[in-house]
Copies of this chain bind each other. A is one copy, B any other.
């Protein structure tokens, strides 16, 4: 049997609103149905963000709880991954939903530039989030915006500071961070294969790079994110 490709569906993200695209699901009810449709279409992981009523990003544990409950009901067996990303809150509020004990949660282990600001993941916050994930048995998906983040994830996993199997996502195409670059992608894959052969990896191309990076990831035997 060949190795299956895991499709992770990022139904909402933290940036787009209905003004950008009326199809973006921003209420919990819309997110549940959108995830359900993706699940029926073959997605195995739901990468979840929640929004306030005005569509701005939120880390509200109560909204995450309702979303998680709905996905569990409509999509039995789907892996639920909640975002601890920095666009939805600052400091420890980013991990306020981890006591819900989702299957997975995103985790950034380094800092980098975003289009107009610094994406701040200071070492003490990374340690705290990783510790909460260990406490609630949440497997992190490492969001690697640069090469050192991959090496840091491998190091932290080797030190038993990341719960579960190591799962690394290469994020490419964010302005002022790592571009969608095939030579870099190939080096990322080689780095994972050489140094963490038991880990899984996936890749996401942001915006117009999405399908390109999906193709690279599938062709190289990795997993993929919408």
Measured between alpha carbons, how far is A6 from B95 in the docked complex, in Å? 48
Q: How many residues of A contact B (CB 8 A)?
A: 31
Q: How many copies does the complex hold?
A: 2
| Residue among A113, A115, A176, A179 facing the most chain B CB atoms (10 A cut-off) | A113
- Nearest B-chain residue to A175, judged by Cβ: B123
Indicate which residue in B115, B116, B148, B176 contacts A112 across the interface (CB closer than 8 Å).
Answer: B148
List 20 extra interface pairs beyond A110-B146, A120-B120, CB under 8 A.
A110-B112, A110-B177, A111-B111, A111-B112, A111-B120, A113-B122, A115-B123, A116-B123, A117-B122, A117-B123, A118-B118, A118-B120, A145-B148, A146-B147, A146-B148, A147-B147, A151-B178, A151-B184, A183-B194, A187-B187
B151–A181 touching, CB < 8 Å: yes
A119–B111 touching, CB < 8 Å: yes
A124–B119 touching, CB < 8 Å: no
| Residue among A111, A152, A187 facing the most chain B CB atoms (10 A cut-off) | A111
Measured CB to CB, the residues of A under 8 A from B are 110-113, 115-124, 126, 145-148, 151-152, 176-179, 181, 183-184, 187, 191, 194
Name the 4 nearest CB pairs between A and B, nearest first. A147-B147, A148-B178, A146-B146, A111-B118
Known A147-B184, A176-B152; contact A123-B113, beta-carbon cutoff 8 A: yes
Measured between alpha carbons, how far is A11 from B130 in the docked complex, in Å? 38
B116–A113 touching, CB < 8 Å: no
Indicate which residue in B116, B121, B147, B177 contacts A124 across the interface (CB closer than 8 Å).
Answer: B116
Measured between alpha carbons, how far is A118 from B109 in the docked complex, in Å? 11
Measured between alpha carbons, how far is A119 from B121 in the docked complex, in Å? 10
